Amino acid sequence: MEITSNAGTYSANSRQQTPTQTDYQTFLNMLTVQIQNQDPLNPMDPSDFAVQLATFSSVEQQTYTNQLLSSMLGQTGLADLGGWVGMEARIYGGAHFDGTPIALTPDPALGADEVNLIVRDSTGAIVDTRSLDPETQSYSWDGLDRDGAALPEGTYSFELESKLEGDTLDSQPVAAYMPVLEARFEGGMTLLVLPGGLYVDSTQVTGLRRPLA
């Protein structure tokens, strides 16, 4: 059985990771002290501040989302999860492509002036790279490679690389919306069955929506 998580597709006995819990006010205080104590003859490059802010903003947003979903799932049993069947779950770690475009939810780093979507196949090989608008929040991947040829059916993962003036600000996985086919309880986990034989721990779902018309 394969289960998909924020870190990618893994087996049921794989080790899971959780995002670092960080205090936003403490971070701002540290950044203020850093600015106050920088060498006036050799000040920090503004792009370095942008990198720090973008990285922390991404971690904070994901932490808040995971806390919210965990709170919801703490009050939800398997019977209630049955209501998720037929819905679309927002997940990280890969999605099955069967010829139908995949709905992605890219989250470019704050201040980025260049954003690239990187697509890998199940072996980890890069099969597509394309430029996105830095303001893009949703994107439909059509399953074409860099030469415009249709890629075969299979599982693909997505990364987003954000840059500012040529320097990499951030590189993060991109979540995709996939239909929930079934909910089941196995190995102490409530699993959602997705297309392509993928399984995802329900606690790893970061969003839920009705299928778009």
* pLDDT, position 83: 81
CATH class of 1-213: mainly beta
Pairing status of strand 198-201 against strand 2-5: parallel
* pLDDT, position 160: 96
Instruction: Report the candidate in 95, 103, 97 with the shortest Cα–Cα distance to residue 153.
Output: 97
Residue 8 clears pLDDT 80, i.e. is over it: no
* pLDDT, position 161: 96
pLDDT in tens, 13-57: 333 334 444 456 676 777 777 777 776 666 666 666 666 666 666
pLDDT in tens, 54-98: 666 666 666 666 665 555 554 455 566 778 888 999 999 899 999
pLDDT in tens, 124-157: 999 999 999 999 999 999 999 989 999 999 999 9
Number of Cβ within a 10 Å radius of residue 213: 3
* pLDDT, position 123: 94
Sign of CA dihedral 64, 68, 69, 74: positive
pTM value is 0.63
Estimate to the nearest angstrom the gap between the alpha carbon of 172 and the chain centroid: 7
* pLDDT, position 37: 75
Q: Which residues contact 199 (CB under 8 A, 6 or more apart)?
A: 1, 2, 3, 4, 12, 191, 192, 193
Sign of CA dihedral 200, 201, 203, 209: positive
**Top-confidence residue, 187 or 202:** 202
Number of Cβ within a 10 Å radius of residue 185: 12
Instruction: Identify the bridge partners of residue 201 per DSSP, sorted by sequence position.
Output: 191
* pLDDT, position 62: 64
* pLDDT, position 158: 97
Assess contact for 209 and 177: CB atoms under 8 A.
Answer: yes
CA–CA separation, 70 vs 168, rounded Å?
31
* pLDDT, position 93: 87
Pairing status of strand 175-179 against strand 88-91: antiparallel
Number of Cβ within a 10 Å radius of residue 151: 17
Q: Where are the domains of the chain?
A: 1-213
Least confident of 7-11, 100-104, 137-141: 7-11
pLDDT in tens, 148-169: 999 999 999 999 999 999 999 9
Around 11, how many Cα atoms within 13 Å sit in the side-chain half-sphere? 2
* pLDDT, position 149: 94
* pLDDT, position 54: 67
Tokens encoding 195? 């297309």
